[in-house]
Structure 1
Amino acid sequence: MESALSEIEFLALSPNRVETLRLLADRPHTRRELVAETGASQPTVGRILGDFEERSWVVRDGGEYRTTATGTLVAQGFDDLLSIVDTEEKLRPVVRWLPTDAIGFDLERLADATITTPSQVRPNAPVKRALDLLGDAEEVRIFSYAFNEQSLDVITDRTAAGQQRFEGVFSSSAIDAIADDSRLRQQLHELLTAEHASIRITDEEIPVAATVADSVVHLFLRDDRGLLQASLDVDDPAVLAWADETFARYWETATPLDPEQL
């Protein structure tokens, strides 16, 4: 273990070593090409190649250098480690609110996620991000423990105009909260009578508020008190597959919401 950590430290302490190994794992390079692409000096590249040869990570083949099988393994593994750490750093500010028990995909899939948090000048930024996605999407599916007023506004307008198809599965308490407000109840009734909209309700617990807007999956992140702290959205096949499967499971067991029930 100590030896492996020492080798990781050797590589990590020099961006030039990391970049040189990455370049050689991609394809063979001459020393001159490595100098040009890394920006390192000739002597520095020479020392790096010498160190790599001692570790059997690279071999010289004519006028070029290339990685060995183990050199390629190290390059790929180090890239994976960098990607994981980059993702962890990105998620660190919001990880406490991630519904990790409810999501069925690896957190690595969130490497390219857009994370939106409230600020003093944009306190409603997470909701605004969700509304932007809803405003552009042609196909929307939601499974959630809540249905906020702004989302209801956008979805009702776009489905009425024939610009969007909508399916939603909500907890009974979420629909009850809408029905308690006369204006929102009327708006919900309008949504339910739209040609391309359908809502079902369930008494099953829905621990996460998820929206699928075309191929983008959006999650609201709330604290233990139910206060909105952030949102994230990502266009990733594995996350989309999880959202599709989860929505289908809730949909199959939920009860269609009849407008007359309002």
Structure 2
Amino acid sequence: MGDPDPLEEVEFLARSANRIEVLSTLSAGAYTRRELGEAVDASQPTLGRILRDLGDRNWVAYDGERYRATATGRLVEAGITDLRDRLEAEGRLREVAEWLPDEALDVDLRHLRDATVTTPTATRPNAPIRRMLELLGETDRAHLLSHAFNEGKLDLVCERTADGTLTTRGVFSEVAIESVEADPSLRERLAEILAAENAEIRVTEEAVPLAVEVTDERTHLLLRDTEGIVRASVDTDDPTVREWALSLHDRYWESATPLDASDLGG
């Protein structure tokens, strides 16, 4: 008998979510048949067929009381779960994939499979910006990194740092600061932010490939196209993405130059 066809085995698992769930459950521990039925919410007849099929492949074993995954069963479970996670992430990000900065986004995209993706609509063309401001308005602390200083963000940060409800550390590109300096009203608001004790702004000479906002609860990415137009936002509470974003912010922060109100042109 030859080796089984891997794609046929993938198809076998993919045809039934219950098969994957049973294999995943038994990879985590041993269960009686009744306990397993309660854990996966499957009828006993269905469970019987699944256990027989998995047993025929030597992916699960029965010791007379409990079922558990075998070593090869755990191997298969890890692979199919990884594939499922990858496809979930791809499905969530498919509509914004062309705007993801591949080189800058140095984090496993599987961690974005549960992310909130916001794109413009006919009735809400600025929906990604509104999502960014919503998250910034709900937090007590924010780490900001961007190549642009959106006027709405400038207003909100100015208001919240002035009343003491927001502590922030921001790193912005030279182009972002120069654009603000060129507008007297925006320059005045930036000067107010710089005067606040709970705000620090630095300027980087490096290219900043995407806007990152790390709040108390979420990590937010603002995606732009090659023309600088905002196309989407992606935000998540995943701890790995948060750790990556904070590390990226710290890298820029350490090499950036502190900005003082006296540095602003007039």
TM-score (norm 1): 0.91
Check conservation: 1:142, 1:210, Cα contact below 8 A.
yes
Alignment of 1:101 onto 2:108: no
1:198 aligns with 2:200: yes
Amino acid in the other structure paired with 1:245: S
Contact 2:136 2:142 (8 Å CA) reproduced: yes
- Would the aligned equivalents of 1:116 and 1:230 in 2 still touch at CA under 8 Å? yes
Q: Name the residue aligned to 1:244.
A: 246
> Structure 1 residue 91: deviation in Å?
0.8
Counterpart Cα distance in 1 of 2:245 and 2:38: 45
Report how far residue 178 of structure 1 moved.
Answer: 1.1
Consecutive unaligned residues in structure 2, runs of 5 or more: none
Q: Tell me how far 1:35 sits from its aligned partner.
A: 5.1
The answer to whether the aligner puts 1:234 opposite 2:243 as a matched pair is no
Counterparts of 2:69 and 2:195, CA distance in 1: 64
Paired position in structure 2 for 1:258: 260
Q: CA deviation at 1:105?
A: 1.3
Aligned residues: 262
Q: Which amino acid aligns with 1:258?
A: D
Once residues 33 and 22 of structure 1 are traced to their aligned partners in structure 2, the CA distance between those partners, rounded to angstroms, is 14
Alignment correspondent of 1:189 = 191
Selected match of 1:146 from 148, 161, 179: 148
1:154, distance to aligned residue in structure 2 (A) = 0.8
1:72-111 correspondence to structure 2 within 5 Å:
72-111=74-113
Deviations 1:158-207 (A, max 9, x none): 11111111221111111111111121111111111111112121222111
Distance in 2, Cα, partners of 1:27 & 1:231 = 39
Q: CA deviation at 1:146?
A: 0.0
1:130 paired with 2:132, answer yes
Residue 175 to residue 29, structure 1, CA distance change in 2 (3 Å): same
3-state SS, counterpart of residue 231 of structure 1: strand
Q: Does structure 2 conserve the Cα–Cα contact (< 8 Å) formed by 1:217 and 1:239?
A: yes
Cα 1:149–1:59 change in 2 (3 A) is same
> Is the CA contact 1:215–1:240 (under 8 Å) kept in the aligned structure 2?
no
Unaligned runs of at least 5 residues, structure 1:
none
SS in 2 for 1:105: coil
Alignment root-mean-square deviation, CA: 2.1
Q: 2:7 aligns with which of 5, 8, 22?
A: 5
Displacement after TM superposition at 1:28 (Å)? 3.2
| CA gap 1:48/1:166 in 2 versus in 1, 3 angstroms | closer
> For the structure 1 residues 127 and 26, does the alpha-carbon distance in structure 2 shift closer, same or farther, using more than 3 Å as the test?
same
1:105 is aligned with what amino acid?
V
Cα distance 1:203–1:35, how it changes in 2: closer, same or farther (>3 A)?
closer
Shift in Å, 1:64: 3.2
Amino acid at match of 1:82: R
SS of 1:28's equivalent? coil
The TM-score with structure 2 as length reference comes to: 0.90
Q: Which residue of 2 aligns with 1:68?
A: 70
Contact 1:137 1:164 in 2 (8 A): yes
Using the alignment, how far apart are the partners of 1:25 and 1:171 within structure 2?
49
Moved more, 26-35 or 232-241: 26-35
